[in-house]
């Protein structure tokens, strides 16, 4: 992947931020950095997109900034989900809105000739399997989780629909990013509603951080 000087510098910085966030969850000496490093992941992406995305249409830039902003709000709220389930619910709503804005961005480059039936079938089977695992532990969160699952599945489908209307690099980056997002959210859901996952924070945050990175970089690499 060919990167500009700004993109190379940001990628190096982003790796440092993510590494600090992951280490802060495992090393007591760095635990105080967690509350800064976690939101800084998306804050850095917001600033980077602002600086590097000036070649994109104004509408695309605005919607992407909204998607990233709601992601940031969701990140902050989920940092306090141990205090009350309300923090988790409002965080879920924030990420739901982020997904909606990502969907709008992806639909701008929708290829009407594409009918990803096989991919949709795989997604449905995966979602039903995950729901079967989670359903007994959802309780009052049943409806919110179903709505959220539908949103992220829709985001995955709209990412697939970009194929042929953007460069291969742009398509692949966004598609990989969406799949990483799906993996991250699945681990989070299993950890919260089914059973504890070993090294859950590292798994959730690493997949989430690079999901956001890939989506942002992929949108930047698309043609207007």
Region class of 199: left (phi > 0), else alpha (psi between -120 and 50), else beta: left
The whole-number pLDDT of residue 92 equals 95
Give percent of the chain with pLDDT exceeding 90: 85
Residue 133, classified by CB atoms within 10 Å of its CB into exposed (0-12), middle (13-18) or buried (19+), is middle
pLDDT over threshold 80, residue 220: yes
- Count of domains forming the chain: 1
pLDDT over threshold 60, residue 36: yes
Pick the closest to residue 66 from 204, 223, 219 (CA basis).
219
pLDDT in tens, 114-146: 889 999 999 999 999 999 999 999 999 999 999
The whole-number pLDDT of residue 83 equals 85
- The residue segments making up the domain with residue 95 are 5-220
Mean pLDDT over the full length of the chain: 94
Task: Compute the average pLDDT of residues 160-175.
Answer: 96
**CA atoms of 76 and 112, how far apart (whole Å):** 37
Sequence-distant (6+) residues with CB within 8 A of 14 are 41, 44, 45, 48, 209, 213
């Amino acid at each position: 992947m060919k990167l500009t000087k700004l993109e190379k510098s940001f990628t190096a910085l982003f790796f440092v931020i993510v590494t600090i966030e992951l280490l802060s969850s495992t090393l007591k000496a760095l635990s105080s950095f967690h509350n800064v490093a976690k939101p800084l992941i998306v804050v850095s992406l917001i600033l980077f997109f602002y600086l590097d995305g000036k070649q994109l249409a104004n509408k695309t830039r605005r919607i992407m900034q909204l998607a990233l902003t709601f992601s940031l709000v969701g990140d902050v709220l989920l940092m306090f989900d141990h205090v009350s389930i309300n923090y988790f619910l409002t965080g879920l709503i924030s990420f739901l809105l982020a997904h909606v804005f990502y969907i709008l961005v992806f639909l701008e480059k929708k290829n009407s000739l594409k009918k990803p039936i096989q991919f949709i079938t795989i997604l449905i089977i995966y979602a039903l399997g995950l729901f079967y695992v989670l359903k007994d532990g959802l309780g009052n969160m049943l409806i919110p989780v179903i709505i959220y699952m539908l949103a992220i599945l829709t985001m995955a489908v709209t990412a697939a629909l970009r194929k042929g209307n953007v460069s291969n690099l742009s398509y692949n980056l966004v598609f990989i990013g969406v799949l990483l997002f799906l993996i991250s959210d699945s681990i989070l859901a299993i950890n919260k509603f089914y059973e504890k996952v070993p090294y859950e924070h590292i798994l959730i945050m690493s997949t989430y951080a690079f999901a956001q990175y890939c989506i942002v970089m992929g949108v930047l690499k698309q043609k207007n």
